[in-house]
Structure 1
Amino acid sequence: MDDYPLARVYQLLEPGPVVLLTTAQAGRANVMTMSWHMMVEFTPPLVACVVSGADFSHRALKETGECVIAVPAVHLAPKVVAIGNSSGRDTEKFSAFGLTPLPAAEVAAPLVAECFANLECRVRDDRLVPDYDLFVLEVVKAWSDSGQPEPKTIHHRGYGTFAVDGETVTIPSKMP
């Protein structure tokens, strides 16, 4: 075994697909790219995610307690990266990147029409926000686009490198 740089450990453990997180505050919608998230419970579905205090979306999420996690397929990767490389402080990202906001059923934040899944969320626990910018979200409504069968997701590997969702294997398990 060789030493591995601690600054690159996250590249080994990056858990899930890169997603878009939308918020809405004072009538203004925003969308950001996020890859630091994980499932923490099945029922109800709880998702933990890091939204940095440096991100424009942090304040809206903290103040409204609502967001949407939209899951893009690989064909949206260039837009997803461009969204992540810009700030909602000075860019109206939905129009700048050609995304279509759709009304959600349970929260004020918009769905993203181009994504194959959208999860409407409410903040369930914010006790770790002051120290770690970690929000625990409860998914209160979920949507999927049947017009995008078997979409491939992108997974951040660090420094502009992504893996694309690959072959699916089924191995019997007692887990749901």
Structure 2
Amino acid sequence: MALKSLPLSDVYALLEPGPVVLLTTADKTGRANVMTMSWHMMMEFTPPLVGCVVSEGNFSFKALRATKECVIAIPARRLAAKVVKVGNCSGRDFPDKSGADKFRAVGFTPLPAKDVHAPLVAEAFANLECRVVDTRMVARYNMFVLEVVRAWRDPAQKNPKTIHHQGWGRFAVDGRIITLKSEKA
């Protein structure tokens, strides 16, 4: 078997770390925003720490850096078209100072969070309220380390399937679940 060279610009599609999620923020004036994000990773179990990359060109970057809090909302497959729509527009495109225009434009409902000012996304099957706990990699890599301070799950959404970005508009959907013996439960 002969291996074929792969363009370096395609490497990210091989290593996408997890499901496509929504990141919500609220700036110091209370204006909410939502963006699509797929560059994130679990870093620790207890407390749950998540590393995420938010481009400084994104409207949410400034709010996340200033307020040091956000929500990671995890959408199921049925929301894929809306998730892509969020990713193809910017909060700058909406004049409403509350940020509700972008949520409305894509058909998402912002809900108040308990411990952060950023809104939850009602349609997501899970929402993670987060606070930034480490910014040392922001200047160099736009990478924030978040601590999940509260987690929510919609019990009505049984066995949701997540979407995983494979690059250039292609997504994989979670498949069959297998269980293998593990030393830890």
Please report the TM-score for the alignment, with normalisation by the length of structure 2: 0.93
Structure 1 counterpart of 2:88, from 81, 85, 90: 85
Query: Structure 2: how far apart are the matches of 1:104 and 1:95?
Result: 18
For 2:156, give the aligned amino acid. Answer: G
How far apart are residue 81 of structure 1 and its match?
Answer: 0.2
| Secondary structure class of the residue paired with 2:139 | helix
Residue number in structure 2 paired with 1:59? 62
> How does 1:103-142 map onto structure 2 within 5 Å?
103-142=112-151
Query: Structure 2: how far apart are the matches of 1:32 and 1:108?
Result: 16
> How does 1:1-176 map onto structure 2 within 5 Å?
1-25=3-27, 26-91=29-94, 92-175=101-184
Instruction: Spell out structure 1 runs of 4+ moving beyond 6 A.
Output: none
RMSD: 0.8
| Secondary structure class of the residue paired with 1:107 | coil
For 2:133, give the aligned amino acid. Answer: R
Unaligned stretches of 5+ in structure 2? 95-100
| Secondary structure class of the residue paired with 1:89 | helix
How far apart are residue 174 of structure 1 and its match?
Answer: 2.4
| Secondary structure class of the residue paired with 2:93 | coil
Larger radius of gyration: 2
How far apart are residue 175 of structure 1 and its match?
Answer: 4.6
Unaligned stretches of 5+ in structure 1? none
- Deviation string, structure 1 residues 21-73 (Cα, Å, up to 9, x no partner): 00011121100000000000000000000000000000000000000000000
Query: Structure 1: how far apart are the matches of 2:137 and 2:44?
Result: 17
Query: Structure 2: how far apart are the matches of 1:29 and 1:77?
Result: 21
Please report the TM-score for the alignment, with normalisation by the length of structure 1: 0.98
Identity of aligned residues (%): 66
How far apart are residue 116 of structure 1 and its match?
Answer: 0.2
